Amino acid sequence: MADGGLLMAGELILGQATSGPLLRLTEPVSFWGGVDEKTGQIIDQHHPQYKVCLAGTALLMGAARGSSSSSSTLLECVRLGTAPAMLLLTERDTILPVGVAAAWEIYGRGPSVLLLPGRLDTRDGEQIRVDKQGRIYKCSAIATDE
Amino acid sequence: MIRLSDDETGMLAGASGPAAALSMRVILAAARIQGAGRLIPIASAHVDSCLYHGPSSLDFARALLSGGGRVRVPTTLNVGGLDRSRPDLFAGPASHGEAARQLMDSYVEMGCQPTFTCAPYQLPGRPAPGTDVAWAESNAIVFGNSMIGLRTSRYGDLIDICAAITGRVPYAGLHIPENRAARAIFTVEQDALSRVDEDLLPALLGHHIGRRTGTLIPALDGLQAIAVTEDWGKAFGAAAASSGGVAMFHILGATPEAPDLAAATQGKPPVLTERVSGADLMAAHRELTTGAPGARLGGVSIGTPHLSAQQLARLAAQLADRQVRVPTYATTSRFVIGSDPAAAQRLEAAGVTIIRDTCTYFQPDIIDPGAMVMTNSAKWAYYAPAMLGCTVILASQSDCIESAVSGEITLSGRHG
């Protein structure tokens, strides 16, 4: 059971029920060359969220920027345990979801990927939980998955 | 809801082996993201996954190989992590070099051709206009769509080999003719053409337009007096795909889907209309030049994307029998070298290091990180400072070569 309110019903494309603190990307980032797979931090010095760590977050984002090798970088992040807990997509961009699909195939783990139908009105740091149906909840305490 | 053919349903169920089933699941995840209703067959693929990014690159390739992964369509390979003919040039950790080599071999084992070039359009047997293909590598994608009239979405690592193994891609993106219309119109002013060295014009225009257009498909007007050769389109596309998300462009009167404005826009009103001035191209030049004239010249890098046979011959002719005085790199493919070994020998005799199978910016140890490097490539100028730590002067090929010979930065003036 969620102990917070239902925010939105998304479409769960990959993964499973999961949770993490919301982090909104203020600008697109290229994972390749822009995210350090060893730490999950943004290392693109031109990015406004330089040094912010993406590991374990509910990452709210539009299209990925830059290199299509970003699929490989995200796969390496999953291997090293530095990937986000979920990708909340507002644009139909396949670069990162492809890396996620490969991760589930070869490692049996990875972020969940959700397509959102519209704006998600929530603050950074707010704990977000998604269920197996793709419903997105705001939760005030750690929720336990059934 | 994605409708699958019997063949596709069979692959998903494992009728063609575990690797084909795995690949089909990845393709279908992408299809769901894109909202595609069906898959379509492709005639060929160009795969970038052979470039090593860490142990997971090998884990993925081995999962495909152990599942019987074989490509179903003719498939070329993008650059790998090292020049197989010059292992001495790879100065990184031996374990990394060995992994990069194994990864390249894994993709050859799956039936891909060992082309190892970022310019598959320079290889023989390229598909006819209108053919659906799955190409990865941003400069190849933009060239294929724009200069040849191939139909490819922006594929990248991992999905590229899945498309090659299944022979299928989602019917979405630039495979759909309606999505290929120009949505931004850029009129290039005469003053932009006259103020810039003709060798640098496509690089500077590409960088500027990539910045301005983002992911909108641009159409360029005002270039009717310019000879838009394949090498011109290559330099323009590579620059625009680096500074923006450009996967296709039209040049009115020159590219195959743009005999005129109405054809390029498919009659749709543009969402962006701009003029491009000489000042815009000067600004693009300043943005890509991080080094200052007067600094010590540490090297010269030519050939990003890989040199065509014409460019290789022109480079050899420009050097004539002179010697370079600073480390000078010319990057191209095995195939292009094989097509003109005499030009390659003349370059090597002049002291130029020829790099094949890879790109200089994946070889961090061949260029002194504190050095200032000259290049005629906007793409190299865009990526090299972050990847290699060097500073860059973007200049015409002639200026690059004259500087390499004199050992000092030599600029002819009209460089932008």
Q: What are phi and psi for residue B150, nearest 5 degrees?
A: -70, 165
Count of H-run helices and E-run strands, chain B: 16, 14
pLDDT value of residue A3: 52
**Chain A residues within an 8 Å CB radius of B55:** 76, 79
- Subunit contact A105:B49, Cβ cutoff 8 A: no
Give the nearest partner residue to A72 out of B25, B32, B157, using CB atoms: B157
Percent of chain B residues topping a pLDDT of 90? 87
pLDDT value of residue B406: 96
- Subunit contact B29:A14, Cβ cutoff 8 A: yes
Residue type at B284 in one-letter notation: A
- Subunit contact B35:A78, Cβ cutoff 8 A: no
Q: Is the pLDDT of residue B266 over 70?
A: yes
pLDDT value of residue B362: 78
| Alpha-carbon gap, residue B308 to B249, rounded angstroms | 21
pLDDT value of residue B361: 79
For CA atoms B60, B61, B64, B67, give the dihedral sign.
negative
CB A61 within 8 A of CB A89: yes
Percent of chain B residues topping a pLDDT of 70? 99
Q: Is the pLDDT of residue B415 over 70?
A: no
Name the nearest CA neighbour of B357 among B87, B31, B152, B170: B87
Distances (CA, A) of B360 to A12, B101, B301, B339, B354: 41, 16, 8, 22, 10
pLDDT value of residue B416: 46
Q: Which two tokens stand for residue B246?
A: 């450009």
Q: Is the pLDDT of residue B312 over 60?
A: yes
**Chain B residues within an 8 Å CB radius of A110:** none
| B35 close contact with A: CB closer than 8 A | yes
| Alpha-carbon gap, residue B234 to B146, rounded angstroms | 10
Q: Is the pLDDT of residue B279 over 80?
A: yes
Give the nearest partner residue to A95 out of B156, B383, B386, using CB atoms: B156
Q: Which two tokens stand for residue B409?
A: 């930065």
- Subunit contact B156:A79, Cβ cutoff 8 A: no
**Residue A66 pLDDT level (bands cut at 50, 70, 90):** low
Q: Is the pLDDT of residue A125 over 80?
A: yes
* Average pLDDT rounded to a whole number, residues A134-145: 72
pLDDT value of residue A145: 47
CB B53 within 8 A of CB B4: no
Q: Where are the alpha helices (DSSP H) in B196-260?
A: 201-213, 230-243
| Alpha-carbon gap, residue A51 to B150, rounded angstroms | 40
pLDDT value of residue B314: 96
Give the nearest partner residue to B30 out of A68, A76, A98, using CB atoms: A98
Q: Where are the alpha helices (DSSP H) in B256-308?
A: 261-265, 278-288
Cβ–Cβ pairs < 8 A, chains A and B: 104
Catalytic residues of A: 67
Residue type at A132 in one-letter notation: K
pLDDT value of residue A133: 96
**Chain A residues within an 8 Å CB radius of B63:** 105-106
**Chain A residues within an 8 Å CB radius of B57:** 72, 75-76
pLDDT value of residue A28: 87
Maximum separation of any 2 CA atoms in chain B, in Å: 66
Integer Rg of chain B from CA: 21
Identify from B60, B362, B383 which residue to disrupt to test chain A contact, counting A C-beta atoms within 10 A and taking the largest count: B60
Out of A37-46, B18-27, B330-339, B349-358, pick the least confident: A37-46
**Residue A2 pLDDT level (bands cut at 50, 70, 90):** very low
Residue type at B317 in one-letter notation: A
Q: Is the pLDDT of residue A143 over 50?
A: no
pLDDT value of residue A139: 84
Q: Is the pLDDT of residue A64 over 80?
A: no
Q: What is residue B49's DSSP assignment?
A: T
> Would you tell me which residues 333-352 of chain B have a C-beta closer than 8 angstroms to some C-beta of chain A?
none
Give the nearest partner residue to A69 out of B33, B48, B386, using CB atoms: B48
What is the chain A residue with the closest CA to B54? Answer: A76
CB B137 within 8 A of CB B77: no
| B215 close contact with A: CB closer than 8 A | yes
